[in-house]
Amino acid sequence: MSEKTGLIADDIHITLGGREVVKGVSLTVAGGSMCALVGPNGCGKSTLLSALSGVRKPDSGTVRINGRDIHTITHRDLARERSLVTQTNRTDTPFTVAEVVEMGRFPWLRTPQAARSPQVIADAIDECDLGEILDRPFSQLSGGQQARVSLGRALAQQAPVMMLDEPTAALDIHHQEAVLDILRRQRDQGTAVLIVVHDLSLAAAYADEVAVMKDGHLRAHGPTHDVMTADLLSTTYDHPVETMPHPDTGQLLIIPRRT
């Protein structure tokens, strides 16, 4: 991958409370690719994402987005390079849905791209099916609705790298599929997409690549069908897992073995 497109993280180490929770992780996500970061609870996925997005500075290692070291650029420049959707949202925010989506355009104020903001915002609202709740306070929405609004804000940002922590966790099946379809279209337009996800079947269905973490280490990273094997997933999750192709579509199905 050209260093000018996408995300490159090299040898990331993070220690929290005296315990090393991310241990020498190197990860590359190219423009035009969707990578799913998976692993058991507490393995370091969200902590790693906080470092990759610039929210947290790692103890050592480097992160470059589109060739730029994220710790040597301004917050506004960083917001132009990557968008971030986190698991949690502030419940006391006084803003409406429309205002939250509009926030995605703030990095582009007083730039030539600002002229496109009304259309970009309208497209994001339409893409995330927010038209009927635009005037509602963000704080009064359900968790699933808040997740869709946060995605709308990220789409309005139009950054070449998108990072999302459990974007489908609070969503019903219909909206899970809708969100991942949106992210797939972003990938098709050249965006580098990195998602943290627990649902292995969703990861298998939508991600081009999978990065598997356990105990702070990156155990494997590569094409989805190569990485998501029964042996690797069973040892990663300490539970027997079966993988098989769907009889009609051939898509990879991942099923925990149950007694």
Residue 91 has pLDDT above 70, yes or no: no
Residue 139 has pLDDT above 80, yes or no: yes
Q: What mean pLDDT, rounded, does the chain reach?
A: 94
143-194 pLDDT, tens digit per residue, is 889 999 999 999 999 999 999 999 998 889 999 999 999 999 999 999 999 9
Residue 213 has pLDDT above 60, yes or no: yes
Q: Give the per-residue pLDDT at 94.
A: 85
Residue ranges covered by each domain of the chain: 7-256
166-174: list long-range contacts, CB under 8 Å, 24+ apart.
166/87, 166/196, 166/197, 166/198, 167/85, 167/195, 167/197, 168/197, 168/199, 168/202, 169/87, 169/198, 170/142, 170/143, 170/144, 170/146, 171/144, 171/147, 172/144
Q: Which CATH number is 7-256 given?
A: 3.40.50.300
Residue 2 has pLDDT above 50, yes or no: no
20-65 pLDDT, tens digit per residue, is 999 999 999 999 999 999 999 999 999 999 999 999 999 999 999 9
Give the helix ranges, DSSP H, for the chain.
45-52, 75-81, 97-102, 117-127, 143-157, 173-188, 200-206, 224-227, 230-237
101-123 pLDDT, tens digit per residue, is 999 999 999 999 999 999 999 99
Indicate the Cα dihedral angle 144, 128, 246, 237, nearest 10°.
-40
- How many CB atoms are located within 10 Å of the residue 116 CB? 13
Q: Give the per-residue pLDDT at 36.
A: 98
